[in-house]
Chains A and B, each alone.
Chain A
Amino acid sequence: MDTVRSTTLSAEQLAKSFSGTPIFVGVSFEAGAGLLAVAGPNGSGKTTLLKILAGLLSPSEGRVRVEREGRVLSGDERRLAVGWAGPDLELYGDLTGEENLRFFRKAAGFPAETGDIRARLEGVGLSPAAVTRPVDAYSTGMRQRLRLAFARLFDPPLLILDEPYSGLDTSGREIVRRVVADARARGGVILASNDERDFADAERRIDLVGAPLAGGRPAEGRTPA
């Protein structure tokens, strides 16, 4: 069995609230190979949901499980099996792009050869000159590309991308499309965006309804067939 493609993520009855205000409730789905789109208006909880899936936030209710060949992953295996990049992701501004990726590879216990690191950076369109500059000197688009390189740093079978096209030029958007296509071929991608065109060919989608109105019920996740 292909261990990469057999890695699945399942969300069961997820709910999240901040200071007692529910953001969403009852979100359940399973993500495996292919593209899963997360749609919804601003404030519907897309970013929060993706952070929960990535293991960066705890849900108020429900649980997320990452399984490989029927075995539930935990610890480092769980952490590194799911790549994530989102608008909140910042890398070290005093370090260069190359130093950032080298640090995270070493911190995860992976080898960090210069050739491999540079190939990863070039893969997201960062030139050899750019990768030796401090990240503080990067433009918005260059930072977005670096986030993409971070998400793929440990070759995860599942990739979670939150607004990956944000701040990118035409060539940057093309790179994201290629990254998504590669990741879909290898395993699964969960992608959130405000632009429907970004996931027009998604295999599945979740619609987060939106923030609850006063006295109304909280947002729900729907997973149309």
Chain B
Amino acid sequence: MSATSATSTAARIWAVCAKDATEELRNRVATLAVLFFAATALALTSYAIGPFGLAPEDRPPLQAALFWIILFFAAATGLPRAFVREEETGTALALRKTLPGALVLAGKALYNFGLFLAIAAVVIPGFLLLLDWRVAAPVTLAAVVVSGGFGLSVVSTFLSALTARAGQRNVLFVLVAFPLVLPLLLTAISGTLAATRGGASDAWTPLRVLIAYDGVASCAAYLLAEAAWED
């Protein structure tokens, strides 16, 4: 691929991402649903277990698991809409007529990744304040969140393309997503736990697994995008 065509491809992907962001900023359907879920889950969690409901040594594993459960379900509220909205509103045909499935998927995954980071930007301070979350290695935690969020965004976006035209798309999405996302979430929880305990070296193994997962998920999504998106 020449530099010019790479720039052009990046610009096309960015156009899809920017379009999705513009639409979302105007109707705020996904943003409000996602942020409402994240805020509710945070409030309930802090009320139920709070900073003082558990012994300090018991908190990190539970906090790491709850952190990713909230991130996952908050993301699951908004991420699958990437392609579903195009099918429901009838705009999918115009998109198919304009650019290949792989570029549409890349643009939408990029937008979903931005949405995930926005969710994390709300959830992380909430955890720090409401659950007295102590993070010994913040940079490591950031790396785990970014790499875990990227994989989650790519897989969710691809599955959204795959299930967008199915009759029972919501059920199908959850059924297909569960086995694909479970290894990612378990690894992310492990990396988060290591980051909160301060063992940057302990986090290296889960971080490498997350990066490998991101690579494999991106390649698979790229190769299968046409089959999932085209007729």
Which of A51, A90, A103 has a CB less than 8 Å from the CB of B89? A90
CB closest chain-A residue, reference B95: A107
Neighbouring A residues of B93 by C-beta, 8 Å: 51, 56, 86, 88-90
CB closest chain-A residue, reference B103: A107
Which of A51, A90, A94, A108 has a CB less than 8 Å from the CB of B98? A108
CA distance A56 to B93 in the complex (A): 7
Cβ contact within 8 Å between A91 and B91 = yes
With contact pairs A79-B97, A89-B93, A90-B94 given, residues A106 and B11 touching in the complex (Cβ less than 8 Å): yes
B19 at the interface (CB under 8 A from A): yes
CA distance A189 to B27 in the complex (A): 38
What number of A-B contacts does a CB cutoff of 8 Å give? 73
Cβ contact within 8 Å between A108 and B12 = yes
Cβ contact within 8 Å between B231 and A57 = yes
A104 at the interface (CB under 8 A from B): yes
With contact pairs A56-B231, A79-B98, A89-B94 given, residues A106 and B26 touching in the complex (Cβ less than 8 Å): no
A99 at the interface (CB under 8 A from B): yes
Cβ contact within 8 Å between A103 and B15 = yes
Q: How large is the interface on B (under 10, 10 to 19, 20 to 34, 35 or more residues)?
A: 20 to 34
Min distance, Cβ A78 to any Cβ of chain B, angstroms: 11
Neighbouring A residues of B18 by C-beta, 8 Å: 103
B174 at the interface (CB under 8 A from A): no
Neighbouring B residues of A57 by C-beta, 8 Å: 231
Min distance, Cβ B31 to any Cβ of chain A, angstroms: 13
Within 8 A of A (CB), among B8-23: 8-9, 11-12, 15-16, 18-19, 22-23
Min distance, Cβ B177 to any Cβ of chain A, angstroms: 27
CA distance A141 to B177 in the complex (A): 42
With contact pairs A56-B231, A107-B15 given, residues A92 and B23 touching in the complex (Cβ less than 8 Å): yes
A84 at the interface (CB under 8 A from B): yes
Within 8 A of B (CB), among A143-165: 150
Which of A51, A55, A58, A91 has a CB less than 8 Å from the CB of B94? A91
CB closest chain-A residue, reference B92: A90
Neighbouring B residues of A95 by C-beta, 8 Å: 19, 22-23, 26
Within 8 A of A (CB), among B66-116: 89-91, 93-100, 103, 107
Neighbouring A residues of B99 by C-beta, 8 Å: 76, 79, 107-109
Q: Determine the main DSSP class of B at the interface with A.
A: helix
A117 at the interface (CB under 8 A from B): no
CA distance A54 to B98 in the complex (A): 11
Within 8 A of B (CB), among A55-93: 55-58, 75-76, 79-80, 84, 86, 88-93
Cβ contact within 8 Å between A88 and B98 = no
Min distance, Cβ A131 to any Cβ of chain B, angstroms: 16
With contact pairs A94-B27, A106-B15, A107-B16 given, residues A99 and B94 touching in the complex (Cβ less than 8 Å): no
Min distance, Cβ B176 to any Cβ of chain A, angstroms: 23
Neighbouring B residues of A99 by C-beta, 8 Å: 22
Min distance, Cβ A156 to any Cβ of chain B, angstroms: 10
Cβ contact within 8 Å between B96 and A56 = yes
CA distance A99 to B26 in the complex (A): 13
Residue of A88, A99, A104 with highest tally of chain B CB at under 10 A:
A104
29 A–B contacts from the bound complex (CB under 8 Å):
A55-B96, A56-B97, A57-B231, A58-B231, A75-B100, A76-B100, A79-B97, A79-B98, A80-B98, A86-B93, A88-B90, A88-B93, A89-B93, A90-B90, A90-B91, A90-B93, A90-B94, A91-B91, A91-B94, A92-B91, A94-B26, A95-B22, A103-B19, A107-B16, A107-B103, A107-B107, A109-B8, A109-B9, A109-B12
> What is the interface of chain B, defined by CB distance below 8 A to chain A?
8-9, 11-12, 15-16, 18-19, 22-23, 26-27, 89-91, 93-100, 103, 107, 230-231
